[in-house]
Amino acid sequence: MSSQVQLDHVVVAVRDLREAGRLYRALGFNVVDGGHHGHAPTRNALIAFEDSSFIELIEWTAHSRDDRWQRILESDGEGPVDFAFSTSHLPAMLERARDHGIEMFGPVDGSRVTPLGHRLRWRVGRPASSELPFLCSDITPRTLRIPGGDALQHANGASGIDTVFVAVTDAQGLLDKYRSLFVSDFDSMSVRDSRFAVGRSGVNVAATRMNGCTVALVSPEPSSTAPAAEFIRSVVRRRGPGVYALALTVPNGSKARSSHPLQTCGMHLRFSAISESLACMIFPAE
């Protein structure tokens, strides 16, 4: 199966979309109004990058009883709630997941109406576990769903999402599920895995780099009470397993820096030159 599977976007749940946009613009991001969804009582704004990934800021206009993202927002506050990979072969990916014992639901239809009135359509496959990304397959052209042109230029220099950090209970074991689901979609030179413990931080990391983006699975060592281990444990306990931080690519030579979650609606955000090692980004600076 040949399919261009790549990071699509990261979802950040917010209470007030206008205020969220203001905060991200203050950090030098170009934030674009995305419109409102047809499949849920939500609307969004998008921060798109040159590597074709984007951050989605999403707000609810009504209560949605079965929406996991909204439940996290209501119980624990703003912050990242999910991330997606795009694929042009969603049915085959769903079948592959089932063949490997990975529970995944779909395809489920999704849609959005842009501020200009264009109706965008896609389908998604959702895993039973939030440790894995959901899958997104466009029906209307993907280029209509994601802003382009000047929207890709950010005053802070960010050009893409280099690393998605995912808080989990067993990083080493979960990496095998990632390989089962995604590895056939890349040649052997496009997938690079690494497994390691990060010094005295008390966390284990299993990382895989696929089509230009690293997914870093981070779990606490069972007996560790180190701050990083307790932090990851707290994320999983409060919000469930899932994405908690991003490292954005900035030009080489730029000084690496972090933004406080109060500046980013709960997101741990790292601006990182490509030369920065993964170990330096594991436990986001407060």
Long-range contacts of 118-126 (CB under 8 A, 24+ apart): 118/144, 119/38, 120/144, 120/145, 123/90, 124/84, 124/90, 125/90, 125/93, 125/94, 125/97
Smallest CA-to-CA distance from 182 within 89, 282, 281 is with: 89
| 79 and 41 co-located in one domain | yes
Q: Indicate whether 179 and 254 sit together in one domain.
A: yes
Q: Mark whether 145 and 16 lie in a shared domain.
A: yes
Residues 144 and 161 in one domain: no
Contact partners, residue 230, CB within 8 Å, separation at least 6: 202, 220
17 and 144 in a single domain? The answer is yes
Length of the chain: 286
Considering the domain boundaries, does residue 23 fall inside one? yes
Residue 277 lies in a domain: yes
41 and 125 inside one domain:
yes
Report the percent of the chain where pLDDT is more than 70.
90
Domain boundary residue, one of 151, 171, 187: 151
- 69/130 same-domain check: yes
Distance CA 203, CA 229 (A): 5
Q: Are residues 173 and 234 in the same domain?
A: yes
Neighbours of 238 (CB within 10 A): 13
Q: Which domain holds residue 125?
A: 6-151
Looking at residue 284, its pLDDT comes to: 60
Kindly state whether residues 105 and 174 are assigned to the same domain. no
What is the count of structural domains for the chain?
2
Inside any domain, residue 256: yes
Query: 250 has which bridge partners?
Result: 273
Residues 28 and 132 in one domain: yes
CA–CA dist 187, 72 (Å, integer): 37
pLDDT for 186 equals 44
Of the three residues 128, 151, 174, the one that is the final residue of a domain is 151
Query: CA 112, CA 164: separation in Å to the nearest integer?
Result: 25
Report the pLDDT value the prediction gives residue 190, as an integer from 0 to 100: 43
Identify the domain boundary among 151, 182, 208: 151
CATH code (residue 78): 3.10.180.10
pLDDT value at position 1?
39
SS3 of 161-209: the string is: EEEEEEECCCHHHHHHHHHHHHHHHCCCCCEEEEEEECCCCCEEEEEEE
Q: What is the mean pLDDT of each run of 10 residues along the chain (286 residues)?
A: 77 98 98 97 98 97 93 97 96 94 96 96 97 97 95 96 95 90 55 60 88 91 91 96 95 84 94 74 58
pTM score above 0.75? yes
The verdict on residue 17 lying in a domain is: yes
- Within this chain, do residues 164 and 69 fall inside the same structural domain, yes or no? no
